[in-house]
Amino acid sequence: MPKNKKPAGGRPAKNFEPRYGAKTSYQDRKRRPGESSAGKPGSKSAGHRGHRAESTDTSPKRRWTAQEKVGRDEARGIRTHSRDDRPVRSYDDRPRRDDRPARPFDDRPRRDDRPARSFDDRPRRDDRPARSFDDRPRRDDRPARSFDDRPRRDDRPARSHDDRPRRDAGDRGARDARAPRLDRVNRDDRRSFGDARPSYRGDDRRSPSSDRGARSYDRPARSSDDRPPRDSTDRPARSFDDRPRRDSNDRPARSYDDRPRRDDRPRQEGRPRRTDAPNRSDWNAPTRTAAREAQVDVVHERLQAEAVQAGEVENVTFGDLGLGENIVRTLADLGAQHPFPIQAATIPSILDGKDVLARGRTGSGKTIAFGAPLVESVLRSQSGGRREFGRAPRALIMAPTRELALQIDRTIQPIARSVGLFTTQIYGGVPQGRQVGALKKGVDIIIGTPGRIEDLLNQGKLDLSQIRIAVLDEADHMCELGFLEPVQRILRHTADGSQKLLFSATLDREVASLVDEFLVAPAVYEVAGEDQESGTIEHRVLVIDHRDKAEILTSLVDRDAKTLVFARTRAYAEMLAEEFDDAGIRALALHGDLNQAKRTRNLERLTSGRVNVLVATDVAARGIHVDDIDLVVQADPPDEYKTYLHRSGRTGRAGREGTVVTLITRQRRRRMTEMLERAEIDAPFDEVRPGDRVIEALRQAR
Partner DNA sequence: AAAAAAT
Report the site for DNA in 456-495 (rule: CB under 7 A).
458, 480-483
Show the site string, 11-40: x = touches DNA by CB under 7 A, - = not.
Answer: -----------x------------------
With CA atoms as reference, report the closest residue to 374 among 503, 511, 528: 503
User: In terms of CB distance, is 234 or 639 closer to DNA?
Assistant: 639
Interaction between residue 453 and DNA (CB under 7 A): yes
Q: How far is CA 426 from the centre of its chain?
A: 15
Measured from the Cβ of residue 136, the count of other Cβ atoms closer than 10 Å reads 21
* 6/473 Cα distance (integer angstroms): 42
* DSSP conformation letters of 140-185: -S-GGGGGGT--TTTTGGG--TTHHHHHHHHHHHHHHHHGGG--B-
Cβ closest to DNA, residue 324 vs residue 451: 451
**413 vs 449, which CB is nearer to DNA?**
449
Q: Using CA atoms, how far apart are residues 226 and 231, in angstroms rounded to an integer? A: 11
- Residue from 25, 432, 513, 659 in contact with DNA (CB under 7 A): 432
Shortest distance in whole angstroms from residue 429 CB to DNA: 5
The footprint of DNA on residues 540-599 (CB under 7 A) is 568-571, 591-593
Cα 317 to Cα 313: distance, rounded to the nearest angstrom:
9
Number of CB atoms found within 10 A of residue 697's CB: 10
For residue 691, CA distances in Å to 152, 540, 555, 557 come to: 22, 17, 8, 13
| C-alpha torsion angle, residues 159, 656, 282, 317 (rounded to 10) | 100
Rounded to the nearest whole angstrom, what is the least distance from the CB of residue 448 to DNA in the complex? 6
Distance CA 205, CA 572 (A): 42
Mark the segment that binds DNA (CB under 7 A) among 181-189, 239-247, 400-408, 680-688: 400-408
The angle that helices 163-178 and 66-84 make with each other, rounded to 10 degrees, is 140
Nearer residue to DNA within complex by CB, 69 or 625: 625
In DSSP terms, 555 is beta-bridged to none
Binding mask 634-663 for DNA (x = CB under 7 A): -----x------------------------
Query: Closest CB to DNA among 148 and 508?
Result: 508
Q: Under DSSP, is residue 602 helix (H, G, I), strand (E, B) or coil?
A: helix
When the beta carbons of 205 and 452 are compared against DNA, the nearer one is: 452
Binding window for DNA (CB under 7 A); candidates: 58-66, 112-120, 386-394, 428-436: 428-436
Residue (541 or 603) nearer to DNA, CB? 603
Nearer Cβ to DNA, position 321 or 614? 614
Q: How far is CA 274 from CA 190, 235, 280, 304, in A?
A: 10, 21, 11, 6
Helix pair angle (163-178, 596-608), 10° resolution:
60
Residue in 173, 311, 322, 451 binding DNA, rule: CB under 7 A: 451
Stretch that binds DNA, among 176-184, 355-363, 394-402, 537-545 (CB under 7 A): 394-402
Query: Taking the complex as a whole, how short is the minimal distance between the CB of residue 681 and DNA, in angstroms?
Result: 20
Q: Which of 43, 90, 401, 634 binds DNA (CB under 7 A)?
A: 401
At what angle are helices 66-84 and 596-608 packed, to 10 degrees? 150
The CB-of-235 to DNA minimum distance in angstroms stands at 19
Find the helix or strand (DSSP H, E) in which 348 lies. Answer: helix 341-351
Q: Which of residues 278-337 bind DNA (CB under 7 A)?
A: none
Output the CA angle 456-383-316, nearest 5 degrees.
100
CB of 16 vs DNA, minimal distance in Å: 12
Q: Please report how close the Cβ of residue 564 comes to DNA at its closest, in angstroms.
A: 14
Residue placing its CB nearer to DNA in the complex, 449 or 651: 449
> Which residue, 406 or 528, is less far from DNA as judged by CB?
406
CA atoms of 279 and 281, how far apart (whole Å): 6
**What minimum distance in Å lies between the beta carbon of 643 and DNA?**
8
Distance, in Å, from the CA atom of 444 to the CA atom of 467, rounded to the nearest integer, reads 9
* Least distance CB 472 / DNA (angstroms): 13
The least CB distance from residue 387 to DNA, in Å, is 27
Q: How far is the CB of 450 from DNA (least distance, A)?
A: 5
- Residues in contact with DNA, counted by CB under 7 A, come to a total of 35
Q: Minimum distance between the CB of residue 633 and DNA, rounded to whole angstroms?
A: 17
CB 562 within 8 A of CB 605: no
What is the rounded radius of gyration, in angstroms, for the C-alpha atoms of the chain?
25
Q: How many CA atoms lie within 13 A of 536 on its CB side?
A: 18
What distance in Å separates the CA atoms of residue 131 and residue 125, rounded to the nearest whole number?
10
Query: Do the beta carbons of residue 175 and residue 335 sit within 8 Å?
Result: yes
- How far is Cα 238 from Cα 524, in angstroms, rounded to an integer? 25
Within 594-623, the residues that bind DNA by CB under 7 A are: 617-619
Rounded Cα distance between 346 and 318, Å, is 11
Minimum gap (Å) between residue 432 Cβ and DNA: 6
Looking at the chain, the number of H-run helices and the number of E-run strands are 21, 15
Nearer to DNA, 221 or 253 (CB): 253
Q: Does residue 460 come out as left (phi exceeding 0), alpha (psi in the -120 to 50 range) or beta?
A: left
CB of 603 to DNA, least distance (A): 11
The nearer residue to DNA, 367 or 600, going by C-beta atoms, is 600
Rounded to 5°, the CA angle 186-173-176 comes to 25
Side chain identity, residue 44: K
Rounded to the nearest whole angstrom, what is the least distance from the CB of residue 452 to DNA in the complex? 3
247 binds DNA (CB under 7 A): no
Q: How far is the CB of 619 from DNA (least distance, A)?
A: 4
Q: Which of 2, 10, 198, 429 binds DNA (CB under 7 A)?
A: 429
Nearer to DNA, 348 or 433 (CB): 433
One of 109, 252, 428, 529 touching DNA (CB under 7 A):
428
Among 203-211, 335-343, 448-456, 690-698, which window interacts with DNA (CB under 7 A)?
448-456
Kindly state the smallest distance separating residue 296's Cβ from DNA, in Å. 9
In the shown chain, the binding pattern of residues 222 to 241 toward DNA, with x for contact by CB under 7 A and - for none, equals: --------------------
Q: Between 373 and 429, whose beta carbon lies closer to DNA?
A: 429
Among 295, 449, 554, 659, the residue binding DNA under the rule CB under 7 A is: 449
Q: Is 437 in the site for DNA (CB under 7 A)?
A: no
Identify which of residues 478 and 688 has a Cβ nearer to DNA in the complex: 478
Cβ distance to DNA smaller for residue 480 or 674: 480
| List 400, 442, 623, 649, residue binding DNA (CB under 7 A) | 400
CA atoms within a 13 Å half-sphere pointing along the CA-CB vector of 470: 27
Cβ contacts of 686 within 8 Å, gap of 6 or more: 540, 541, 542, 543, 694
Mutual orientation of helices 669-679 and 641-648 as an angle, nearest 10°? 70
* Interface with DNA (CB under 7 A): 22, 253, 400-403, 427-430, 432, 448-455, 458, 480-483, 568-571, 591-593, 617-619, 639
